[in-house]
Amino acid sequence: MKEQATIASSDSFKMLRAMVGIGALCGLIIVFIYEATLPRIERLRAEALQEAIFKVIPGITEMRSFSYQNNAFILADESDENVIYAGYDEKGEFKGVAIVAAGQGYADVIRFIYGYNPENQEVIGFYVLENKETPGLGDKIDKDPVFLDNFTALDVSLNEGGDAIKNKVTTVKKGTKTNAWEVDGITGATISSRAIGDIIATSTEHWIPIIYKNRTVFKNIENE
């Protein structure tokens, strides 16, 4: 009996030793690789984001990140949330801001970035960052040139009081667009194109009044 007990406890010891040993080894390997690849991954992500920002604000050569804290826009740090990006051309002139928005599409979350110009109160650019929509149908949202054209001059002007969007952005059936704040949908991809319209509507309702009110903050790039 005693021999059996000894064998049993050495078995449990072996099991424990194996699990803990392997667990520790695996943990170490993971942490090492994580730390080693982190700088490069962050650099790639920043580059991709920069590229996207440049796509949605035409004509810029530089950008600054701003985060909205305590009812004011300040230059953003790495870890800040609520960040938008201001773009400037080579003369240092402010050309617009880029805002990231996301929401549920047909298949999964759609993430995109759009440009906004406070001067003419329009959305001036649009670029899909992530989408898993149905290939051949919903995924046209990032390819269809007619659809993308909607976002070169989409009206998001504010009302008299400057605290809300005058006309909410809405997706309409393809070919029936009559107003500058409407988005011509994609035939066969109703849900995906409607999702884009809805996401922009929500995002602009939240951001545009704030950005427009504080638009002078972005202009002063020279004073740094």
Partner 1 sequence: MSNQEIGKEIHKSAPSSTDEFIKGLWKDNPVFVQVLGMCPVLAVSNTAENALAMGIATAFVLLMSNILVSLLRHFIPKEVRIASYVLIIATFVTITDYAIQSISVDLHKSLGAFIFLIVVNCLILSRAEAFASKNTVGKSIMDALGMGLGFILALFSLGAVREILGSGAFFGMSLFPDGFQKWVIMILPAGGFFTLAAWLLIFNLIKQKRAIS
Partner 2 sequence: MNEESFSQIFINASLVNNFVLAYFLGICPFLGVSGKIDTSSKMGAAVTFVMLISSMCAYGIHALLVAINAPFLQLISYIVVIAATVQLVEMFVKKMSPTLFKALGIFLPLITTNCAILGLALFQTNKGYDFLQSIVYALGAGAGFTLALVLIAGLREQLEFAEVPNVIKGTVLTLMLAGILSLTFMGFSGLGSN
Report d(CA 126, CA 150) in Å as an integer. Answer: 9
| Contact mark string toward partner 1, 30..59, x via CB under 8 A | x--xx--x--xx--xx--x-----------
For partner 2, the closer CB: 94 or 112:
112
CB of 26 to partner 1, least distance (A): 4
- Per rule CB under 8 A, is residue 30 in the interface with partner 2? yes
Phi and psi at residue 134, to the nearest 5°:
-55, 125
Report d(CA 106, CA 137) in Å as an integer. Answer: 11
| Contact mark string toward partner 2, 32..61, x via CB under 8 A | --x---------------------------
CB of 215 to partner 2, least distance (A): 28
- Per rule CB under 8 A, is residue 11 in the interface with partner 1? yes
Report d(CA 98, CA 54) in Å as an integer. Answer: 9
Indicate which of partner 2, partner 1, none lies near residue 41 (CB less than 5 to 8 Å, by partner kind).
partner 1
What is the pairing mode between strands 182-184 and 170-172? parallel
Closest CA to 219 of 118, 141, 146, 133: 118
Phi and psi at residue 129, to the nearest 5°:
-90, -45
Report d(CA 38, CA 184) in Å as an integer. Answer: 41
Q: Which stretch binds partner 2 (CB under 8 A): 26-34, 42-50, 90-98, 140-148?
A: 26-34
Contact status, residue 187 vs residue 92, Cβ threshold 8 Å: no
For partner 2, the closer CB: 60 or 141:
141
Q: Which residue has the tokens 């880029």?
A: 98
Q: How many CB atoms lie within 10 A of CB 125?
A: 23
Q: Which residues bind partner 2 (CB under 8 A)?
A: 26-27, 30-31, 34, 103-104, 106-109, 134, 190-191
Query: What does the binding site for partner 1 look like in residue numbers (CB under 8 A)?
Result: 11, 14-15, 18-19, 21-23, 26, 29-30, 33-34, 37, 40-41, 44-45, 48, 130, 132, 134-137
